[in-house]
Amino acid sequence: MADAPAPPAARDQAERLRTADQLGLQLVRFLRLSHHAKQHIMAGAKPAIERSNYALLATLVKLGPLRATALADALRSDPSTVSRQVSALVGQGLVRREPDPEDGRACVLAPTDEGSEVFRANHEHRTRLLAELLDGWSTTDQQALVRLLTRLNTEFENHQGEPA
């Protein structure tokens, strides 16, 4: 007697798992390749800035002065890690500590003029390289990539640390 075909729900679940497996493989590939690309991008920017510091500086430039805890929350990072990165950026003259206008006992972190300029130069360098990478793509495909990647990132953010 031949095996009966799987019910539609089981086929749908199996297809979802195959697709998720393919996505997982491509995400691992993408992360590995993007790690190498980030090293190339940051090395080519003048003045160059470390990848981890770029995210911190970008957040301060875009959101404005923040307390260290708010910065760690915005980056979804450990406060002690952010504290070490902030200390390095303060030492480089790219970030400054200012009294918190709402509570003078606390401080907020803000980019210096030099920090804003370093961010701008690195951001422009990255943008030009990505535009060059996507030169062979249609505008529709580029916009679809941005839309779908934004959607995937939002799903990761909304998952709140649950294993994916």
- Dist. CA 38–CA 91, nearest whole Å: 23
Residue 38: pLDDT band by 50, 70, 90 thresholds? confident
Domain residue spans of the chain: 42-135
Average pLDDT over residues 10-20: 89
What's the pTM value of the predicted model, to 2 decimals? 0.76
CATH of 42-135, one of 3.40.640.10, 1.20.120.530, 1.10.3720.10, 1.10.10.10: 1.10.10.10
